[in-house]
Chain A
Amino acid sequence: MYFRFSRSEMTLREKLWHVSWSFVLLITVICSIGFLTLYSAANGSIDPWASRQMVRFLVGMVVMLAVAMVDIRVWMRWAYILYGVALLLLMAVEIRGSVGMGAQRWIDLGFIQLQPSEIMKIILVLALARYFHGASYQDVGRPLFLVPPLIMVFLPVGLVLKQPDLGTAMMLTLASGAMFFLAGVRLWKFGLIIAAGLGAIPVAWRFMREYQRQRIITFLNPENDPLGAGYHILQSKIALGSGGMFGKGFLLGTQSHLNFLPEKQTDFIFTMLAEEWGMVGGLVLVALYTLILVYGYAMSLRARSQFARLVGLGLTTTFFLYVFINIAMVMGLVPVVGVPLPLISYGGTAMLTLLFGFGLIMSVHIHRDIHIGRRGASDEI
């Protein structure tokens, strides 16, 4: 409380000065790779995917910078309220989904279809960061202290699983796990939970829907059913493997252009990219993603408040989960769960969510020197 620094009084101009423009450039480069790949996916046409994705990118960039300008303490103050709103939206689509025909997972806002589960990926990080912000190492050590955040995690995860959206549930759980870990939850507790989780597999199996079980079965042996359930994974591996070291060339990917590769513009876009650009292209993209992670870590760890650090690291972890689950999925390492390749896959919600997240990370960066007391937002000058 002694070092109350008056950074909060930064002008917009100063804040813009503090934006890491190299980070913005990095994001733009990755998104541009996405535009090129979508151009190729449409057989060398900017329509229908690349053009729309560019518009979304531009909208997303504005949103990102706007989010970055907002004071980190504002985000902290609004964290629980945003969480509550997001939870309500999630319940709303859940109720409507069960009442109406079919499972519609989004709310149509006209220009974009808002997916509450996607928003939750960001908001949950914010809420957990807020909760752990004031917690001491001793606090975190008390089991009862961990009950509220666990409830905060299980409510959305349960709702998302009911949809059912295995990929989002997995991401929420893993990102939350990382938050707990960073907050200082004892390692043996993780060991306990992992053991309990393994023990729960047979139970979970019984409650899984048939298509979810099927996904796991085909994941374990996709060659079993090459024309049915295993078709996607097998075709993805064929397209990717046939790309070889240097790829078949831009616009020359046979498997993707002949539609053997399913969902080539969304979930399986990495396969298409790796078919046309080979392993070299795939590694370049993974390297760019790693660079984003490095930026995220660097920005987060330099922040002076626990909230900012947790938000930055949590969101970086969420980003990592997008990258890893998607790429591992198209290469047959994890089940096909429907997680897009961040900044590249065609789709507005994911793009907006991610850029919103990067906006928060940048806000963490811009407001890195702001100290926030244990009482949090109420503690301000």
Chain B
Amino acid sequence: MSRDNDRAKIIGRRALLLGGGKLALLSALAGRMYYLQVLEADKYATLADENRINLRLLPPPRGRILDRNGVPMAVNRQNYRALLVSEQIDDLDDTLDSLSNIIPIADHDRARIAREIKRHRSFVPVTVRENLSWEDVARIEINTPDLPGVMIDVGQSRSYPLEGLGAHLLGYVSAVSEADLQSSSDPLLELPGFRIGKAGIEKVYDLALRGKGGTSQVEVNAVGRTIRELKRDEGEPGVDLSLTIDLDLQQFAAQRLGSESAAVVVVDIHTGDVLVMASTPSFDPNAFNRGLSSDEWRDLITNPRSPLTNKAIAGQYPPGSTFKLMTALAALESGTITADQRVLCPGQMSLGNITFHCWKKGGHGSLDLIGGIKNSCDVYFYEIARRTGFERIAEMARRFGLGAPMGLDLPGERAGAIPNRSWKRATLGQPWLPGETLINAIGQGYVLATPLQLAVMCARVANGGFAVQPHLARDQIEGSHVMPRTAGDWPDLGVSRQSLALVRRGMFAVVNEPGGTAFGARIKDDAMTMSGKSGSAQVRRISMRERDTGVKKNEDLPWKERDHALFVAYAPESEPRYACCVTVEHGGGGSGVAAPICRDILMEVQKRFLQRGGGDAPQVRPVSTRPDAASRQPAVHHDDDGHGDHVHPDPILDDPEDGEDR
């Protein structure tokens, strides 16, 4: 019994010890609970949220691109896609078979779908096909009961409703490249499928058009499936961007150019608004979104009329006789000549042992400045250039915007070329030859200009010598910040109003006086009178033999060898507002081909803005406040007798020959 008592005592004591130990361990559990759930609670609460909350980036809708009147040029189109959710389908092949009865699915697509399904979790939708037509969508929707796991999703893709019209301005959007990613920290770029502007306006103003990405906080479970949305910040959609382009005019110009390989630029001479910038032939930028076949691509890049090039800014042409405006200004400004001094044109001029020909075989006889411009007499300009020297002419041309990119808000602008001694030495390593002064002074030789440069040159002549800058966006845009464009006071080019008035007087005579090279293309409505200067840029050399046997007419030459036809003009003469440059590649003569196009376009421009009146006219800078506003008008009016002894037989006046300056 005592033994039993002993044992009871021992077990009692030891049970107490054991129980105490257990209580201590349970207290340790309570302590651990306190540590985790009270002391460290915040840390674990944060970790828990990190676990379950995913931040998703919402791509903002890209801003549209509109013309100056709000007509959309680039929009976002609903892009319907067929998606497949693998966890909801029984058998992939069966589903794809029945789906392919509705929309064709290529074999390589099947392989890709199978691959993507394997790679993603079963609830992640996999794209079967994109860019479904509305009919396809409807047919799939009707058949959804038989197609479990197939669903339609709407995305956004860029669309250019005007197709070829303005394609060169708008550019295109495309996938983000590795280089883009490295140069920007915008997280939007990392979104799969995100597209950014890669050319044209889409590229220049990409930041503004892109907008700011929104975020969506979603609760996800352990395998990443979205359970619900907790918070949403929509971000900022891209800005709708208005261009200075007037689509109606753009369309008119493009139609007027027809099938020619040509470019038209119309600028407001005071504001620098580019109203028209057309380059033909064009291409459909939507084709790039759809994906081009290799045949289509080959056609585009081998086409001799280069549809992918924006000829208005990237086409460089010898300006031909349009450059004589610069030669005349340089001569006047340097005081080398006066307007009244006459030059006798016998049809050719000799310098050293070389003979330089005038485009008119028999010569023009005696001409003053106005007569020289009006007839585009080569010998007249040879002579005044010889006296002035090309350095001064080049300097004048630079002031008017030639020889350097204009700084237009569009990528791809070419500089053209204005040679001088140092240029020739630097690029060719040869000294300047006296004969080159003559050739370059009539816009041949090394001189190159883009249609945009010529339009701006004409605008600067017409606006009284102010360095107007062209631009395409109506607003001032820096990065993603958009503000109204301030009416800039363009710097004065420092050319006397008198010289400009004389040159303009000459340009008036070219179009509006009998005998002027573009008299046939005059605008008969007095309120819309156009003044301009034609140019024909020679593409091939004319041999002595040919000159003896008779120069071939352009129409007889293969297309590639014909002259480029150019015409620059401004209108209306009474109060100049618009400057235009028409360039037709291998079009033949400037006065015969380019001038009528320019006339039609400038008439359309004026009809639209000036005669209609109203608020949609481009804003006019208050030119009247300028101290020399009066001198803008062609103040120096030569009467018809001013041409003195120079009398033309009428039939020729009304229909001047196209080939003018050889």
Contacts and interface: CB of A to CB of B under 8 A. Distances in A.
Interface of A: 136-137, 178, 181-184, 235, 237-245, 254-255, 258-260, 274, 278-279, 282-283, 286, 289-290, 293, 297, 300-301, 306, 309-310, 313, 317, 320, 323-324, 327-328, 331, 333
Contact of B11 (A182, A240, A243, A324): A182
Contacts of B11: 182-184, 301, 306, 309-310, 313
B29 A254 contact: no
B48 A297 contact: no
A240 B221 contact: no
Contact of A301 (B15, B28, B45): B15
B227 A242 contact: no
Given A182-B14, A244-B45, A258-B220, A283 B7 contact: no
A247 to B, nearest CB: 9
A241 B50 CA distance: 14
Nearest to A282: B33
Nearest to B15: A313
A290 B23 contact: yes
Contacts, number: 134
B32 to A, nearest CB: 5
B187 interface: no
Nearest to A253: B48
B48 A254 contact: yes
Given A137-B10, A309-B11, A278 B30 contact: no
Given A178-B18, A254-B52, A244 B7 contact: no
A278 B37 contact: yes
Nearest to B14: A182
B178 interface: no
A327 to B, nearest CB: 5
B26 interface: yes
Contacts of A235: 51
A241 B45 contact: yes
Interface of B is mostly: helix
A317 B221 CA distance: 39
Contacts of A258: 51-52, 219-222, 227
Interface of A is mostly: helix
Closest 5 CB pairs of A and B: A241-B44, A242-B48, A258-B221, A259-B222, A279-B37
Given A184-B10, A286-B30, A328-B32, A238 B4 contact: no
Contacts of B33: 240, 274, 279, 282-283, 286, 331
14 contacts: A136-B6, A137-B3, A184-B7, A240-B44, A241-B44, A245-B37, A245-B41, A258-B52, A260-B221, A286-B30, A297-B15, A300-B15, A309-B8, A328-B25
B7 A137 contact: yes
B38 interface: yes
B227 A331 contact: no
B10 A244 contact: no
Contacts of A289: 26
Contact of B47 (A238, A243, A293, A333): A238
B44 A242 contact: yes
- The residue among B36, B38, B219, B220 with the most chain A CB atoms within 10 A of its own CB is B36
B48 A238 contact: yes
Contacts of B19: 293, 297
B86 to A, nearest CB: 20
A110 to B, nearest CB: 33
A178 B10 CA distance: 13
